[in-house]
Structure 1
Amino acid sequence: MANLLGFSSVQPLLNSLSRETKIFLAATVGPFIHQGSDHLTDNISVLLVAGAYLEYECNRNSLYGFYLGVGYLAAWAPLTLGFTGAVGASGVTYGLTTWLLVHSISRPLEVAYDGAIDRRILHFAPVFFGLVKARETAAILSMMDGADDVTHFFGAFVGLLLGIYFVLDYHDIQITNL
C-alpha cells in the first residue's frame, strides 16, 4: 500500500500521518496492517503454527473470537497509555502462543493424571514453541519502552488469561466459589 501511495516503505507513510490519524488507524485496523513484509511474514508464521494447533484442539470460532478480542485489546492498550498505537498482529501472536503454551502443557498433564502414555504426549512439541515466545515476553518486561512492547506484553497477558479460560472449558473444569 505504501508503494502504491508513492512511499519507499511503510515507515515514511506512517511518519507522514498526523497523530490523530495514527491513533485512528491503530484503534480501527491496527491488528490487520503491518510495517513491511518481514513483520507480516513473522506474524503469519506464528498464526499458522499456533493458530492451526489451537483451531484443531479447540474450534475455529474460538480462534476467530480470540483474534479479534486480543487483537483489539492489545492494539488499544498502548493508546490508553498515551502512545500513538501500534500496527500488526503481534499482540495476537503473543496471545496465541501463551494460549498454545497453556493448552499444550495441559495435555501431557492430562496424560500423567490418567496414568497412561498415549499420543497426547506429542503435545510437548508445541510446549517448546510456546516457551520460546514466553521467553521473549519475559524479556520485554525489562525494556518496555514503546507501543509495540506494550502490545506484545498485553497480548501475551490476555492470551494467558483466555488460554486458562479455554483450557478449563476444554477439560470441563468448573471453578466454583469456595
Structure 2
Amino acid sequence: LSALEPYAQHLNFITLSGLDASDILERVDGDPTAGLCIEDYINPEEVKKAQELCPRTQLIISRLEQEPNHADLRSYSVRDGVLVTNSGSCYTARDEPKYYLPYMADYLRDIIWRVHDKCGHKRSEKIKAILSRWVWSPSLYACISKVIKKCDYCLQYKGLRAFNTSSGT
C-alpha cells in the first residue's frame, strides 16, 4: 500500500449510482486526452495511404500544387505529402495542423475504434473531443456515431444508453 501513496492524493472517490464503469476513474483534471498521444493512434503514412485512395482529397492536393494561394484552399496545406488543415480552430493543442482524413475512410474508422477502446468505451461526445484535437474529416462525427453503435462492449454493458450522445459520457 505504501507504493500507492503518491497516487492516492489524485484519486476522486465517487458513488456508483447512475454511472458507467468507465466513469469510475475520471481524470482529476477532466481532460479526456490526458495521457493520450497522437503518435499512439495516428500514423502519417497510413493517413497518406487513406488520402491516396480518395479522389476528392487528391483533387484538393493537386489544386494546392497548382494554386497554393487560392482563397478556397487557405485552410489546407501539404506537409511531407500529407494533406493537413491549418486554419483557426484546426490546430492541435501543440499548434500543429490537424490531419485531414477523407470522408468515411477505413483508416478513420480504425482510429476511432482504437481511441474508443483505449478511453474506456466513452460515448460519442468524449470521443469527438479527443479526435477533433488531432484530425479533421468531413465525416468525423457521423463516423464516430457509426463505430460506437457497432461496439459489442457498449451494446452489451451500456445498452441503449450508449447511443445517447447528449450527455457526453
Q: TM-score, normalised by structure 1?
A: 0.29
Tell which has more relative contact order, 1 or 2 (C-alpha 8 A, sep 6+).
1
Report the structure, 1 or 2, having the larger helix content.
1
Report the structure, 1 or 2, having the larger strand content.
2
Q: TM-score, normalised by structure 2?
A: 0.30
